[in-house]
Amino acid sequence: MLTVQGNQFVVNGRPFQILSGAIHYFRVVPEYWEDRLLKLKHCGLNTVETYIPWNLHEPKKGQFHFTGIADLEAFVRLAESLGLYVILRPSPYICAEWEFGGLPAWLLKEKDIELRCSHPAFLQHIEEYYDELIPRIKPLLSTNGGPVLAVQIENEYGGYGNDKTYLAFLRDALQKRGVDVLLFTSDGPDMLADGSLPDVLATVNFGSRPDEAFQKLKAFQPGRPLMCMEFWDGWFDHWTGEHHVRDGKDVADTLEQMLEMGASVNFYMFHGGTNFAFYNGANHYETYTPTITSYDYDSLLSESGDITPKYEMVKKVLAKYAKRQETKMPATSPKKAYGTVELTESISLFDTLPAIGKTVRSPYPLTMEQLDQSYGFTLYKTTIDGKGRFEMDITPVRDRAFIYVNRHYQKTVSRRDENKFVMLDFPQEINSLEILVENMGRVNYGKNLKDSKGMAGNLWINNKYVFDWEMTAIELDRLPVLFKNQKENRYPKFFRGILEIQEDAAPDTFVQLDGWTKGNVFINGFNLGRYWSVGPQATLYLPGPLLKKGKNELVVLELEGNRTTTISLAAEPNLG
Ligand code: GLA
């Protein structure tokens, strides 16, 4: 059990320095959890930290998911069996460059809901989620003989709001369900006042200048232990942006400064992993900017779990300050270039809509969340009367859309477009207008957090609102089975091919998307995430455990157009 005595952490009666690293179980396939945790321990760390994403565990209201990659308890028990302590951050908001900061999209079905504050409906949903989540965590707590030393309340709340009643509600919600380990908050050094509670330990998050950050923490909370809850050793990337890297020596030097001060630390990230499926978040300061699929983070282990030079430098520094627990080091996980796969079959999304979509009608456009849909695409369809060239205001589009008139592709529009008006030609007296909207990931941080998808309002076309809409939710939780009876030639299209694997335990590989524009890749039905030729990321990580000996089904959903129908599988990633 972890306690605070003066300016020290104490475990089992002895002073304890928390040397922790973040691994998000939900960003790593379960078969590799042990490998990553062993590498963490081998580096000289004694604790693993993870967030808990509400939207993964309660994908639909009242439907809970705690198996496979969502098996939080198995992850914690595994860490324990390897001799590691655990820190949990079940906020329920987690930021983390994760879709909607971990909040479930269905919260937005209630349009007037206020997030991350004492809004009664928001609190009620948290209560119901915690009734399911916390009893799972309780036996894992160190006070009950488990490995969990500490639990975080909210996440950098000082960077969002000032509702202390809400923070106190979260504290009480944990404690009344039996969470009796050390509670803490974490914030930027200048945001401590709004983010913390008087009786809860405050910690700080930063990437550099530990002296300054810890001075601020000491001034705010004198005589207590110093802890950097997020030591940013790298950074994440946005589509169209640069691939971020951070010098390993700089990270090791910064760590050394912290350890010299006797501080505790949690590497954010020790191992970043992958935003599989549609789970990437987005930022929205000036403009909406979605995060890429890889969460490599340029952290101590690469996205595919390999030791980096930064890892070695950090290990050396840790060895100077702390006695490393001896542990076996797993073998390097092999990577393989499997060559090329020919995607021989294809079908337009429009030909397979009945199999993968769910259609409803409404006088006005409903948002994605109002359609009980969280991720993927929504097709909005209506009729436009009259021949002519009409102006349409695209402001409600979240986030990017393909526009078709009478089943012919016209234009792609985006929430990022500065000009919110497009001109469309309607050649007939009665025309069909279809708008296929892509959710590119909900905002996970800051003032634009409340980010409904699909159509966030009605469309103003030719100086009036248009009524009578048909909407098809395409969540892509199931893929088309039949690739025949192709009538349409319109994109998006699904492409399918077979990857033959000889090995019983297939090595990892990287899916190269040269010649493809934008979409998602699925292996045996598992959604590996998004690709986009704008970069920086040019390959998708395909972990070996997702492959099986024999035939593997590779499906690409291409949204815009491809110059090739082959996919190459390489031994090296290309993150730009
Ligand atoms: C903050 C958040 C984290 C993450 C990092 C940036 O510190 O608390 O969840 O978003 O920023 O990677």
- What pLDDT, on a 0 to 100 scale, did the predictor assign at position 357? 96
In DSSP notation, 213-267 reads HHHHHHHHSTTS--EEEEEESS---BTTSPPP---HHHHHHHHHHHHHTT-EEEE
- Residue 96 beta carbon below 6 angstroms from any ligand 1 atom: yes
Which of 49, 154, 156, 303 is flagged as catalytic? Answer: 156
Contact predicate 489/348, CB 8 Å: yes
In whole angstroms, what is the distance from residue 227 CA to residue 49 CA?
13
Distance 147 CA to ligand 1 centre (A): 24
- What pLDDT, on a 0 to 100 scale, did the predictor assign at position 158? 98
Q: How confident is the model at residue 342 (pLDDT cuts 50, 70, 90)?
A: very high
CA-only gyration radius of the chain, Å: 25
Contact predicate 87/431, CB 8 Å: no
pLDDT at residue 356 greater than cutoff 90:
yes
Model confidence over 97-109: pLDDT tens digits? Answer: 999 999 999 999 9
Query: Locate tokens 């003066």: which residue?
Result: 6
- What pLDDT, on a 0 to 100 scale, did the predictor assign at position 485? 82
Question: At a CB cut-off of 8 Å and minimum separation 6, what does 279 contact?
Answer: 26, 53, 56, 98, 99, 441, 529
Residue nearest to atom 6 of ligand 1 (CA): 96
Percent of the chain predicted with pLDDT > 70: 100
Q: Which domains does the chain have, with CATH numbers?
A: 2-321 (3.20.20.80), 339-347+483-570 (2.60.120.260), 358-474 (2.60.120.260)
Distance 235 CA to ligand 1 centre (A): 9
Q: For the residues 454-460, what does the mean pLDDT come to?
A: 97
Q: How confident is the model at residue 323 (pLDDT cuts 50, 70, 90)?
A: confident
0.95 exceeded by pTM: yes
Pairing of strands 182-187, 148-152: parallel
Nearest residue to 311 via CA among 298, 327, 296, 321: 298
Q: For the residues 289-296, what does the mean pLDDT come to?
A: 98
What is the average pLDDT value for the chain, to the nearest integer?
Answer: 97
- What pLDDT, on a 0 to 100 scale, did the predictor assign at position 278? 98
pLDDT at residue 324 greater than cutoff 90:
no
Q: How confident is the model at residue 216 (pLDDT cuts 50, 70, 90)?
A: very high
Q: How confident is the model at residue 251 (pLDDT cuts 50, 70, 90)?
A: very high
Percent of the chain predicted with pLDDT > 90: 97
Burial class (CB in 10 A: 0-12, 13-18, 19+), 412: middle
In whole angstroms, what is the distance from residue 270 CA to residue 297 CA?
9
Largest CA distance in the chain: 82
Model confidence over 293-318: pLDDT tens digits? Answer: 999 999 999 999 999 999 999 999 99
Position 223, amino acid: G
Q: How confident is the model at residue 77 (pLDDT cuts 50, 70, 90)?
A: very high
Query: Locate tokens 């078969």: which residue?
Result: 31
- Which of ligand 1's atoms lies nearest the C-alpha of 95? 9
Q: Is 203 helix (H, G, I), strand (E, B) or coil?
A: strand
Model confidence over 191-205: pLDDT tens digits? Answer: 999 999 999 999 999
Q: Is 440 helix (H, G, I), strand (E, B) or coil?
A: coil
Contact predicate 48/54, CB 8 Å: no
- What pLDDT, on a 0 to 100 scale, did the predictor assign at position 332? 87
- What pLDDT, on a 0 to 100 scale, did the predictor assign at position 291? 98
- What pLDDT, on a 0 to 100 scale, did the predictor assign at position 163? 98
- What pLDDT, on a 0 to 100 scale, did the predictor assign at position 540? 99
Model confidence over 53-63: pLDDT tens digits? Answer: 999 999 999 99
**Is 156 designated active site?**
yes
* Distance from the Cα of residue 68 to its chain's centroid: 17
- Residue 155 beta carbon below 6 angstroms from any ligand 1 atom: yes
- Residue 156 beta carbon below 6 angstroms from any ligand 1 atom: yes
Q: How confident is the model at residue 341 (pLDDT cuts 50, 70, 90)?
A: very high
- Residue 205 beta carbon below 6 angstroms from any ligand 1 atom: yes
* Dihedral sign from CA coordinates of 339, 495, 559, 361: negative
Q: For the residues 163-168, what does the mean pLDDT come to?
A: 98
- Which of ligand 1's atoms lies nearest the C-alpha of 269? 12
- What pLDDT, on a 0 to 100 scale, did the predictor assign at position 326? 80
- Residue 230 beta carbon below 6 angstroms from any ligand 1 atom: yes
- What pLDDT, on a 0 to 100 scale, did the predictor assign at position 111? 87
Q: How confident is the model at residue 132 (pLDDT cuts 50, 70, 90)?
A: very high
